Amino acid sequence: MADSRTQVAIVGGGPVGLGLAVELGQRGVATTVVEKTAEIHRIPKGQNLTQRTMEHFRSWGIDAAIRAARVMPPAYPAVGVNAYGNLMSEYAHPWFRRSDVDSFYFAANERLPQYATEAILRKRGGALEHVDARFGLSAIGVDQDGDRAYVTTSREVIEADYVVGCDGSRSLVREHAGIGETRSDHDRRMVLLVFRSRQLHDILDGRFGHAAFFNVLHPELDGYWRFLGTVDAAENWFFHAPVPPTATADNVDAGALLRAAVGVDVAMEVDYMGFWDLRIAIAETYQQGRIFVAGDAAHSHPPYGGYGINTGLEDARNLGWKLAAVLKGWAPARILDSYSEERRAVFASTARDFIESFIENDRVFVAHHNPDIDKEDFEKAWETRRAGSTRAVNVFEPHYEGSRLVFGPAGGESSAVGSHTMTARAGHHLPPSDEGLFDMLGHDFCLVTGADNDADAFITAADILGVPLTVARVSDKALSDYQTSMILVRPDHYVVWTGDRAVRADAEAVLRRATGT
């Protein structure tokens, strides 16, 4: 017997769980969040917020609050430095400049510690009528039958139509749902230091200008990084480094580790020391019946490239509109199958083509090139590396070309590897065109077309099927950039279909496919 009833119960009230709650709450879906911690942990992680994440925040009405909370001055862009040996060496170059792809999104990227982002999401969720967030309440069990799912907490049993586990890499929800994991264990113990050092800020700011994070390659690290990053422009830092398997807080020399990365002694005050194992894990499926997993509960990896929080929030955006569509009655339950199909494929690619690739490419580099052995060879290889340093940002373009819900190319596969272009492509994120288009896209399906184009076929088909649809009229210049006359856009702003015209039968077939009908 349940003590309370909701439509969606979310276990885990971090950024992903809260983002999903906001997405659902704005759509009028009754949502209960269960989060075991009452207070937010002030560990500076998840700081790199991509352009796409800032689009989510704009949709959720918090983008202005996120930017207002910024602790780094605007002069500090989200750009890194990649160095060999240590940060005082002659071999260093800019790396991972996310602003290179700003023009393909409706919002610029941002940098903010996860605890600050989480605080804003808590406030936004608390302002929504349909969101009930219960902090300081632990989930101890999850179950389901054919018609309902249940979350058992330390105080009550919550009955829901669906349960979503956003409860981290050691997910209780994933375990109780019987969802297995595939792991790639690198057998590396890592230390995380959170520390203060004004001296380090002055040294690195003077040497590199306003960089946000620093990765150091060294032959003895076998392709793994020592990496540190700014939390603010004053004195606060985080630092990750490989350590021996037996490392503990009692035997780790924090000063020596930092000196190895920086190249000089630095005065520091350590505020936190923790340890983690470098591994990549992905759930075998993101859905088991009425139970789903998202964020770190679905996929976990080392903080290489800042993919974690951004990937999790995209999970929330993808799953949220589909749950709402089912619960509001305009899409069948089978549309939910596409969540695992789309999102799992993208993370598998992210892990393989970016994170694992970073490690393997760096392992090969340090094994074959050493300036102490052959300086000319090293410098040639280093220049090649520097010249290709923008690739990781430019080709990271998650898409759903292989999704059953879109009219992608024949043989298309969903992946994190793509290309940025203004052309509207089925399965891809819609790039910006006219000013004001983002707001016209709204929260439902949207037909983007020209001022004089006939949208009646789609309007009639949507009315017949009960699918919420708006029409956005854009300029001829926008359509020229998009290289098409009509674009059907999903509620998460991915393109379903493009074409030059549509009769009612065609429009109805397009909408049926887009909604899994």
What does the pLDDT look like over 194-222, one tens digit per residue? Answer: 999 999 999 999 999 889 999 999 999 99
Question: Using one digit for the tens of pLDDT, what is the confidence trace for 156-185?
Answer: 999 999 999 999 999 999 999 999 999 987
pLDDT surpassing 90 at residue 318:
yes
Q: What are phi and psi of 499, to 5 degrees?
A: -175, 175
What is the pLDDT at residue 505? 81
How many CB atoms neighbour CB 396 within 10 A? 22
Mean pLDDT computed over 219-237: 93
pLDDT at 85: 97
Question: Which residue type, as a one-letter code, is found at position 277?
Answer: D
Q: What is the pLDDT of residue 18?
A: 99
Q: What is the pLDDT of residue 331?
A: 99
Under 8 Å between Cβ of 83 and 92: yes
Residue 17, helix vs strand vs coil? helix
pLDDT of 1 higher than 80:
no
Q: Which range has the worst mean pLDDT, 91-100, 262-271, 411-420, 468-477?
A: 91-100
Residue 152 pLDDT? 98
Neighbouring-strand partners of residue 280: 184
What's the pLDDT at 156?
A: 96
Average per-residue pLDDT for the chain: 96
Handedness of CA 203, 204, 208, 209 (dihedral sign): negative
32-57 confidence digits (pLDDT tens): 999 999 999 999 999 999 999 999 99
- pLDDT-based confidence at residue 502 (cuts at 50, 70, 90): confident
Options 3.40.309.10, 3.50.50.60, 3.40.50.720, 3.20.20.450; which CATH number does 4-74+109-181+281-350 get?
A: 3.50.50.60
327-381 per-position pLDDT tens digit: 999 999 999 999 999 999 999 999 999 999 999 999 999 999 999 999 999 999 9
Q: What is the pLDDT of residue 88?
A: 98
pLDDT in tens, 78-118: 789 999 999 999 999 998 888 899 999 999 999 999 999 99
* Mean predicted confidence (pLDDT) in 496-506: 90
- The backbone torsions φ and ψ at residue 255, rounded to the nearest 5 degrees and listed phi first, read -65, -40
- Do 366 and 219 contact (CB within 8 A), yes or no? yes
Q: Which residues sit opposite 83 in a β-bridge?
A: 92, 216
**pLDDT in the model for residue 396:** 96
Strand partners for 132: 32
- Ordered DSSP codes for 306-319: S-HHHHHHHHHHHH
Q: What is the pLDDT of residues 441-499, one digit of tens each?
A: 999 999 999 999 999 999 999 999 999 999 999 999 999 999 999 999 999 999 999 99
Sign, Cα dihedral of 196, 71, 242, 272: positive
Percent of the chain whose predicted confidence (pLDDT) is above 90: 90
Hunting for tokens 């009315």 — which residue is that?
463
Amino acid at 91: Y
Rounded CA-CA distance 324/327 in Å is 5
For the stretch 434-440, contacts whose Cβ atoms lie closer than 8 Å and that sit 24 or more positions apart, written own/partner, are: 434/474, 434/475, 434/477, 434/478, 437/106, 437/472, 437/474, 437/478, 438/55, 438/58, 438/106, 440/470, 440/472
Under DSSP, is residue 517 helix (H, G, I), strand (E, B) or coil? coil
Going by pLDDT thresholds of 50, 70 and 90, the confidence category of residue 124 is very high
Going from N- to C-terminal start, the domains of the chain cover: 4-74+109-181+281-350, 421-514
What CATH number is given for 421-514 in this structure? 3.40.30.120
What distances in angstroms separate CA 104 from CA 79, 134, 420, one per listed residue?
18, 38, 7
pLDDT given at position 391: 87
> What 3 state SS string does 80-147 have?
EEEEECCCCCCCEEEECCHHHHHHHCCCCCEECCHHHHHHHHHHHHHCCCCEEEEECCCEEEEEECCC
The pLDDT of residue 392 is above 90: no
Confidence of residue 424 (pLDDT cuts 50, 70, 90): very high
Pairing of strands 495-499, 157-165: unpaired
Residue 181 β-bridge partners: 283
pLDDT average, residue stretch 292-308 = 92
DSSP-derived letter for residue 430 is: P
Q: Specify the pairing of strand 181-196 against strand 236-243.
A: antiparallel
Lowest mean pLDDT among 12-21, 234-243, 270-279, 299-308: 299-308
What's the pLDDT score for residue 482? 98
* Greatest C-alpha distance within the chain: 74
**Does 305 score more than 80 pLDDT?**
no
> What values do phi and psi take at 77, rounded to 5?
-75, 165
Counting residues of the chain whose pLDDT is more than 70, the rounded percentage is 100
Tokens 């074959």 appear where?
Answer: 368
Q: How confident is the model at residue 435 (pLDDT cuts 50, 70, 90)?
A: confident
